[in-house]
Structures are given as structure tokens and as C-alpha cells.
Amino acid sequence: MGLLVFVTVLWAFSFSLIGEFLAGQVDSYFAVLSRVLLATLIFLPFTRWRGVPGRLRLGVLATGMLQFGITYLCLYRSFSYLTVPEVLLFTIFTPLYVTLIDDALSRRFSPVALVAAAIATFGAGIIRYDGLSEDFITGFLLLQVANFTFAAGQVGYKHVMQRYPVDIPAYRTFGYFFIGALIIALPSFMVFGNAERLPTTALQWGILAWLGLAASGLGLFLWNRGACRVDAGTLAIMNNVLVPAGLLVNLLIWNRDADLLRLAVGGVVIAFSLWVNARLHPRARLAGAL
């Protein structure tokens, strides 16, 4: 779970950076495309083109289309309708999608994982519910698409790697993940993008570079590797740890008001959900023993 914790800290800055410096100023389709291109450049030199099973290649490519391509297009668009706190609030449903999709792919039902994810969702809701803007339905729906595709991507990657085990290091096939995202991001920018709203300052270009190289390139690879090492319940819960982490960054760096009591109570509830999953989920106990 250490990889998931590390990436959570890395991603905690992303929401505020997007909301403070990019949303409404830089074309969202270009912002996503730039992140995809930079992340692709990291892994492309290491990508193995021969000796990779076709189904493994297509599976990783499909998860990239879902988890990075569609997810980030919807996420960036949502900032046009929602504030940073509202975006954080509406991401709390991701754990439910993670457990339901994992159960569907495994043809089983895991009530403990679902209950733990629901507790984590409740804890994140305690932290983040402070009223909604009047015109939030569009943003909410965009984020639910993003939540679903992000959940499907990370669960799908885990299942693909388990179903097609090969003696090839994961970083040698992860380039296909970003190629999949590029298949979505490039035509989206060409059709819907606004070339007149490109970054205009060195700060904006720097933020896009950091988001592409660190948050996307390194972050998505480590997150997906971490997802392969934990059970679905733990993975679902870790998706919601980003809420208090993101709020702490927003509070400490940008000095935004936050209800510290609700932050503490919600954090305790999320921690309790981790304990419930680890204590009662048989696959979680097995994973912890390995």
C-alpha cells in the first residue's frame, strides 16, 4: 500500500494547481493532451514492441483510454462548472465504482469491501459537504463519468496484469497505457480544443510539465502497480484518502478556509474503513500476510 500512499501525496497538489492556475485560463483539451504527451515520452523509450501478447497490449491500451484519456477530459471540463471543493466532494463515489466493477469482473459479490468503501465515502462526505453551487448538475455528471472510468481503468489494469502474466517488467508495457490515452486526447483536442487558450505564462507551462511528468507519468504508473498489490476494498478506500490530502494542501498552501473539526472526523471515519476492510475482508488479510 506504500505506493498508493506515495501517489496520494503526489496527487494531493493536482486539484489545487488545476483549479487555481489552469481552470478557465487554459483550454482543458490542450491541458489533458499535454499531460498525455509528456507522460508518453517518459515510457515510450522503454516500451517493448515485440514479444508482448496481443491481448495484454490491447488490455493495457484500453485501460489507458479509460483511466487517463476519458477520465481527465471529464475532470478538466468539470472545473468549468465546479469549485475545487465541489470537485473533491463529487469524487467520493469512486470507491463504490471500484468495488462494484471488481466484483463484476470477478463474478462475485464482496459485501465487506462494499461496506468499507461506503464508510470511506461517508467519511469523505463529512469532510467535504458544505453546500453546492446552483448550476452543478453538469459538473456532477461529468465527474461521475470520470469516477467510473478511473475506477474501471485501475481495476481493469489489475485484472489484465493478473490474467496475462508475462516475464516482462511492467514499465516495458506501460507505454501502451499512454498510447491508449493519446487515442482519446489527440482527436478530442483537434475537434473541440481552442488553440487561442493555450498557456500564456511560464508558471502555467511549468504546472503542465509537472502534471504531465510527475503526476501523470510517474503517478499513474506507481498507482497502477500499487493497485495490483492490494485487494479491491483497500484500493477503493485509498481512492478517497485523496480528499483529506487535497484539502490539507488547499489549506496549507493557498490558505483556503477549511473546517478542521470535520476534516479530523472525516479522516477518522476513513481510517476506520481501512480497519474494517483489513479486519473482516478475507482477501485483505491474505494480501497483508504475503
The pLDDT tens digits for 13-61 are: 887 888 889 988 999 999 999 999 999 999 999 999 998 999 999 999 9
- Confidence grade of residue 131 (pLDDT, cut at 50, 70, 90): low
User: At residue 240, what is the residue type?
Assistant: N
Q: Is the pLDDT of residue 255 over 70?
A: no
pTM of the predicted structure, to 2 decimals: 0.82
Q: Is the pLDDT of residue 69 over 80?
A: yes
Report CA Rg, the chain.
18
Rounded Cα gap, residues 120 and 102, in angstroms:
17
For the chain, what are the domain ranges? 2-289
Of the chain, the percentage scoring pLDDT greater than 90 comes to 44
Q: Burial-class residue 217 by CB neighbours within 10 Å (0-12, 13-18, 19+).
A: buried
Other C-beta atoms closer than 10 Å to the C-beta of 105 total 16
Q: Is the pLDDT of residue 96 over 60?
A: yes
Q: What is the pLDDT of residues 267-286, one digit of tens each?
A: 788 778 767 766 775 554 43
* Mean pLDDT taken over the chain: 84
pLDDT for res 128: 63
Q: Is the pLDDT of residue 260 over 80?
A: no
Q: How confident is the model over 215-222, as a mean pLDDT?
A: 94
pLDDT for res 288: 37
- Name the one residue in this structure whose C-alpha cell is 485501475: 154
Rounded Cα gap, residues 83 and 258, in angstroms:
14
Rounded Cα gap, residues 203 and 249, in angstroms:
18
Between helix 202-210 and helix 28-43 the angle, nearest 10°, is 50
Rounded Cα gap, residues 184 and 200, in angstroms:
25
